[in-house]
Amino acid sequence: MTPPSSRILVVDDNEALRENLVEALELEGYTVVSAADGEGALEHLAADPPPGVVLLDLMMPGISGRELLSLIRANPRLHGVRVVITTGLSGARARVQHADAVLMKPFGVKDLLAALRKVGLQPAT
Protein backbone atom coordinates (compact mmCIF):
# COMPACT_ATOMS: atom_id res chain seq x y z
CA MET A 1 0.00 0.00 0.00
CA THR A 2 1.39 3.41 -1.00
CA PRO A 3 1.52 5.96 1.82
CA PRO A 4 -1.05 8.73 1.37
CA SER A 5 -0.13 12.35 0.74
CA SER A 6 0.54 14.22 3.99
CA ARG A 7 -2.18 16.77 3.14
CA ILE A 8 -5.31 16.47 5.27
CA LEU A 9 -8.82 17.74 4.55
CA VAL A 10 -10.78 18.41 7.75
CA VAL A 11 -14.55 18.43 7.18
CA ASP A 12 -16.73 19.43 10.13
CA ASP A 13 -19.67 21.80 10.48
CA ASN A 14 -18.54 22.79 14.00
CA GLU A 15 -16.33 25.81 13.34
CA ALA A 16 -14.50 25.77 16.69
CA LEU A 17 -13.68 22.06 16.42
CA ARG A 18 -12.61 22.43 12.79
CA GLU A 19 -10.26 25.29 13.68
CA ASN A 20 -8.82 23.37 16.65
CA LEU A 21 -8.18 20.31 14.47
CA VAL A 22 -6.47 22.40 11.79
CA GLU A 23 -4.25 24.10 14.36
CA ALA A 24 -3.31 20.86 16.13
CA LEU A 25 -2.48 19.10 12.86
CA GLU A 26 -0.43 22.01 11.53
CA LEU A 27 1.57 22.03 14.78
CA GLU A 28 2.34 18.35 14.09
CA GLY A 29 3.73 19.21 10.65
CA TYR A 30 0.78 18.36 8.43
CA THR A 31 -0.53 20.50 5.58
CA VAL A 32 -4.22 21.03 6.30
CA VAL A 33 -7.20 22.45 4.44
CA SER A 34 -10.72 22.54 5.80
CA ALA A 35 -14.35 22.67 4.78
CA ALA A 36 -17.49 23.42 6.77
CA ASP A 37 -19.70 21.05 4.79
CA GLY A 38 -19.82 18.35 2.14
CA GLU A 39 -20.13 20.81 -0.71
CA GLY A 40 -16.94 22.60 0.33
CA ALA A 41 -15.21 19.25 0.77
CA LEU A 42 -16.09 18.27 -2.80
CA GLU A 43 -14.34 21.43 -4.05
CA HIS A 44 -11.16 20.47 -2.18
CA LEU A 45 -11.40 16.88 -3.40
CA ALA A 46 -11.53 18.13 -6.99
CA ALA A 47 -8.09 19.73 -6.54
CA ASP A 48 -5.03 18.01 -7.89
CA PRO A 49 -3.55 16.20 -6.12
CA PRO A 50 -6.32 15.24 -3.72
CA PRO A 51 -5.59 15.14 0.01
CA GLY A 52 -4.13 11.95 1.44
CA VAL A 53 -6.64 11.82 4.27
CA VAL A 54 -10.11 13.22 4.86
CA LEU A 55 -10.99 13.71 8.52
CA LEU A 56 -14.76 13.60 8.13
CA ASP A 57 -17.56 14.40 10.56
CA LEU A 58 -20.34 11.86 10.16
CA MET A 59 -23.27 14.15 11.00
CA MET A 60 -23.46 17.33 8.89
CA PRO A 61 -26.27 19.26 7.23
CA GLY A 62 -26.57 18.98 3.45
CA ILE A 63 -24.25 16.24 2.23
CA SER A 64 -23.71 14.06 5.29
CA GLY A 65 -20.39 12.44 6.13
CA ARG A 66 -21.83 9.07 5.15
CA GLU A 67 -22.90 10.43 1.74
CA LEU A 68 -19.54 12.12 1.19
CA LEU A 69 -17.74 8.88 2.08
CA SER A 70 -19.81 7.09 -0.58
CA LEU A 71 -18.94 9.77 -3.15
CA ILE A 72 -15.24 9.47 -2.33
CA ARG A 73 -15.29 5.67 -2.62
CA ALA A 74 -17.21 5.82 -5.93
CA ASN A 75 -14.66 8.16 -7.55
CA PRO A 76 -11.71 6.24 -9.07
CA ARG A 77 -9.56 9.40 -8.96
CA LEU A 78 -9.86 9.37 -5.16
CA HIS A 79 -8.96 5.68 -4.83
CA GLY A 80 -5.95 6.30 -2.57
CA VAL A 81 -7.65 8.81 -0.25
CA ARG A 82 -7.98 7.50 3.30
CA VAL A 83 -11.08 8.50 5.29
CA VAL A 84 -11.17 8.83 9.06
CA ILE A 85 -14.73 9.32 10.31
CA THR A 86 -15.23 11.44 13.44
CA THR A 87 -18.47 11.03 15.34
CA GLY A 88 -20.09 11.27 18.72
CA LEU A 89 -22.76 8.71 17.82
CA SER A 90 -22.42 5.63 19.98
CA GLY A 91 -22.33 2.44 17.94
CA ALA A 92 -21.33 4.33 14.79
CA ARG A 93 -18.08 2.39 14.51
CA ALA A 94 -20.00 -0.76 13.60
CA ARG A 95 -22.36 1.06 11.22
CA VAL A 96 -19.79 2.98 9.14
CA GLN A 97 -18.66 0.92 6.20
CA HIS A 98 -15.77 1.74 3.88
CA ALA A 99 -14.03 4.15 6.30
CA ASP A 100 -10.37 3.48 7.01
CA ALA A 101 -10.79 4.42 10.67
CA VAL A 102 -13.42 5.78 13.06
CA LEU A 103 -12.55 8.25 15.79
CA MET A 104 -15.12 8.67 18.56
CA LYS A 105 -15.76 12.21 19.85
CA PRO A 106 -14.56 13.60 22.14
CA PHE A 107 -10.98 12.67 21.28
CA GLY A 108 -7.59 14.13 22.08
CA VAL A 109 -4.59 14.90 19.91
CA LYS A 110 -2.95 11.58 20.82
CA ASP A 111 -6.03 9.69 19.58
CA LEU A 112 -6.10 11.77 16.40
CA LEU A 113 -2.44 11.14 15.65
CA ALA A 114 -2.87 7.42 16.36
CA ALA A 115 -5.77 7.28 13.86
CA LEU A 116 -3.63 9.03 11.23
CA ARG A 117 -0.76 6.60 11.80
CA LYS A 118 -3.27 3.75 11.51
CA VAL A 119 -4.15 4.84 7.97
CA GLY A 120 -0.47 5.29 7.07
CA LEU A 121 -0.12 9.07 7.30
CA GLN A 122 3.05 10.71 8.59
CA PRO A 123 3.71 14.46 8.83
CA ALA A 124 5.67 16.00 5.96
CA THR A 125 8.24 17.61 8.29
- Element holding 103 (H helix, E strand): strand 101-104
> In whole angstroms, what is the distance from residue 85 CA to residue 67 CA?
12
User: Does residue 18 contact residue 10 with C-beta atoms inside 8 Å?
Assistant: yes
pLDDT tens string 72-83? 999 999 999 999
Q: What is the DSSP letter of 1?
A: -
- What pLDDT, on the 0 to 100 scale, is given for residue 12? 97
> In whole angstroms, what is the distance from residue 125 CA to residue 120 CA?
15
Q: At residue 93, does pLDDT exceed 80?
A: no
Tell me what percent of the residues of the chain surpass a pLDDT of 70: 90
Question: How much is the mean pLDDT over the chain?
Answer: 90
Cβ count near 9 (within 10 Å): 22
pLDDT tens string 8-64? 999 999 999 999 999 999 999 999 999 999 999 999 999 888 999 999 999 999 999
